Structure 1
């Protein structure tokens, strides 16, 4: 087993634990990416079809690097470094790219057309400014950037507009936010656009709404890997949980000391509660620093 060469004991344990929930706790420099990569290689060596493996990272750069490493290692195992085509490789992407992929294919189930455009932060802010202007609301009192942050936080916490509107009561600020958000959603729909947060929120709504779509993706990706799990927010947690629900083979890597996306609504409890959320979970600590 060449792919196990050079791994220390805890890394090997993580690589060889292929079934059931697995939490790998690793600090910076402990070889977590190497461990994750070699675990995926091991699954393929054990006979798992590559397209049934999903690996989610937080940046496009990390996804591309992992993809290149895996392609290289699989090729070396086979003796031909470039012999694996994209269709024979595991599906590696960011959470948001995964959402785009699923919505392009099945978004019609939740009213999302195949050819939606994706708004970046500036485009989204422009629509919020338009919404505030249309409603004759004072932008100095209700600053567009702040409104954008509130809406983004709600979507990341897996709260829809309807749920938010139902919860505002007589509070003045949330009531105005609700009006702006409603107008903002009308503009998104008119422009056939989704903002960055919709890519995940609408994907989770899709999986909750359609048993057929949920079952399709659960069976398609039977082995799920998530890097930087400490940086997941509520909607990313729910997406991961739903995809892993049928087969239970979910491997997450996290560093309790490195919650870099807390400003974006990331919840370190997702990592700390992993054993409670996934019964029978195994925990492996990677403590050696390289």
Structure 2
């Protein structure tokens, strides 16, 4: 027991040793909220309040779930291996597989990735009653957008039937106001989407498939429609713990609320200021909903920060005030100002530049100058960017200053040169009129066609409104291109042969 509570502060101990009933833990960045969740699991086991199979711990990412599992493994005695620690999607997948027959699924159902879902939709495209969202000029244009919309509907716990009712209400409203042409068009669009949503779900079920969003959406539907199954899991899970609660969406919250049942032994930890997945449907309003749904919940605020100096914390707090009055701190009337264990530290400096390249150049010079003093080394510096693509200008600036660097971000599979080359080759094979893909292909290192000769061909194709592929095929019959050298002609012949 002493080992479990060792090193925890007063607020953390209060959260860890909460015995029964709903618990809301508001924990800012660097305050050890994941530590609290894992210690609480160990404490519940040590106190005999629950067995390993009676605790459900959920988080948002595979990485966070893995980290939580590792920490619990260290804290609990050897052999405690059947604790349910997973992401929401993995948990939903497990529920569906354990109750596949009741859910109307094959126990070995396949989960489609987003690209696979797009291919599936494309294969069944003409089974959908679409007009506006299947234009004749480009029938597949809206496939990705429709799949994203269906996924978002599941995040918001909107069933196909509810979407259809909404669309019908719009049509009825537009009928009452025939002069409102914009409303009429919106109603028609929404009805198409609603019918496509219902058809998409039916096609997936017919072929024994589910997509990423269905993993928890169908699990929630299963629990709602089958009280016996719901009762089984409510009795099994005596304690439910949710980490990074601010990143959950509405449907995920409804699922854990259902599972909490009559015991209502549910612990959630989160911080709305760290809600970074709103674009995926994350709803920080779930924190407010939790207070409303569990009005008797004990609230614990953990504000001692173990990561940053007070100067950094104060700067961050001043910045986040710009989100008021929408922040949970204001709406719940609590104090979330973080207290740093390290009082010393340099204040945060803000340097403003007019362009990205100017910013990158000055950052590189700043690093070079500080290392030049002899007090610091290059490994003492880190550059954080909003997205991987934003790093390129900084990498170039570092190269210009001969500064060694290591890029820890993942540029993605589709950004790799060999993958882009394969994609453009396949596009050119599938559609020889795709001049842009063909241009990329022939200018690559694989063919290394002379850029001057390629420019002549591309310019001619553009002026005559012809595909580059057709120009290549009739090269000898075009007087304007007679100056192209024999080496380039030979390479063009090889390109055409490879594409056939």
TM-score (structure 2 length as normaliser): 0.54
Partner of 2:40: 39
* 1:132–1:180 Cα contact (<8 Å) kept: no
Q: Is the 8 A contact 2:25 2:301 kept in 1?
A: yes
1:104-123 CA-partner distances (Å, limit 9, x unpaired):
01132231221111001111
Matched, 1:275 2:275: no
Q: Name the CA shift for 1:205/1:158 in 2 (closer, same or farther; >3 Å).
A: same
Query: Residues 183 and 275 of structure 1: is their aligned pair in 2 closer, same or farther, counting only changes over 3 Å?
Result: closer
Q: Given the superposition, is the C-alpha separation of residues 140 and 289 from structure 1 closer, same or farther in structure 2, using an over 3 Å criterion?
A: farther
Matches of 1:85 and 1:151, distance apart in 2: 39
Q: Deviations over 1:213-255 (max 9, x none)?
A: 0011011111000011111111101101000022110000111
Match of 1:79?
Answer: none
SS in 1 for 2:86: strand
Which stretch of the first structure deviates more once superposed, 124-133 or 51-60? Answer: 124-133
Q: CA deviation at 1:179?
A: 3.0
CA RMSD of superposed structures (Å): 1.6
Give deviations 1:10-54, integer Å, cap 9, x for gaps: 001101112110011111100111111111111011102121111
- The answer to whether the 8 A contact 2:52-2:81 is kept is no
Task: Give 1:85 deviation, angstroms.
Answer: 4.5
Between 15-24 and 169-178, the greater mean CA deviation after superposition? 169-178
Q: Counterpart of 1:194?
A: 210
Q: Identify the residue that residue 16 of structure 2 maps to in structure 1.
A: 15
**Contact between 1:26 and 1:254, CA under 8 Å: does it hold in 2?**
yes
- Of 244, 247, 267, 1:228 maps to 244
Report if the CA contact (8 A) 2:52-2:80 is conserved: no
Structure 1, residues 167-217: CA drift from partner, whole Å, max 9, x if none?
Answer: 202211111112322332233123210011111111111111111100110
CA distance in 1: counterparts of 2:143 and 2:69, whole angstroms: 39
2:109 aligned residue: 116
Larger radius of gyration: 2
Alignment partner, residue 66 of structure 2: 64
Trace 1:69-108 onto structure 2 (pairs within 5 A). Answer: 69-75=71-77, 83-87=78-82, 90-108=83-101
Greater RCO, 1 or 2 (C-alpha within 8 Å, sep 6+) = 1
Query: Which segment drifts farther, 167-176 or 210-219?
Result: 167-176
- Which stretch shows the higher mean deviation, 251-260 or 159-168? 159-168
Task: Name 1:143's counterpart in structure 2.
Answer: 142
Give the superposition deviation at 1:64. 1.5
Which residue of structure 1 aligns with residue 161 of structure 2?
Answer: 162
Query: What SS does the aligned partner of 2:19 have?
Result: coil
Count of matched residue positions in the alignment of Structure 1 and Structure 2: 281
Q: Does the aligned pair in 2 maintain the 1:165–1:175 contact within 8 Å?
A: yes
Cα deviation for residue 280 of structure 1 reads 1.1
Shift of residue 160 of structure 1?
1.2
- Measure, in 1, the Cα distance between the counterparts of 2:46 and 2:15: 15
- Where 1:86 maps in the other structure, the secondary structure is coil
Task: Answer yes or no: is the 8 Å Cα contact 1:23–1:251 preserved in 2.
Answer: yes
Q: Secondary structure at the match of 1:289?
A: strand
Q: Which runs of 5+ in 2 are unaligned?
A: 172-186, 307-500
Instruction: Give the aligned partner of residue 54 of structure 2.
Output: 52
Provide TM-score, normalisation by structure 1.
0.92
Equivalent position to 2:121, from 122, 128, 133: 128
- In 2, Cα distance between the equivalents of 1:282 and 1:233? 22
**SS state at 2:20 partner:** coil
* Structure-2 residue corresponding to 1:80: none
- Per the TM alignment, residue 74 of structure 1 is displaced from its structure 2 partner at its CA by 1.1
* Aligned counterparts of 1:108 and 1:46: Cα–Cα separation in 2: 37
SS of the residue corresponding to residue 273 of structure 1 reads: helix
Q: Secondary structure, in 3 states, of the residue corresponding to 2:111?
A: strand
Cα distance in 2 for residues equivalent to 1:182 and 1:256: 33
After superposition, the Cα gap between the structure-2 partners of 1:217 and 1:91, relative to the gap in structure 1 and judged at 3 Å, is same
Partners in 2 of 1:247 and 1:263 — Cα distance? 33
> How do 1:223-262 residues align onto structure 2 when only pairs under 5 Å count?
223-262=239-278
Tell me the equivalent position of 1:78: none
Using the alignment, how far apart are the partners of 2:205 and 2:99 within structure 1?
Answer: 17
Separation of aligned partners in 2, 1:147 and 1:168? 15
Q: Whole-Å Cα distance in 2 between the matches of residues 141 and 104 of structure 1? A: 33
CA shift for structure 1 position 140: 6.1
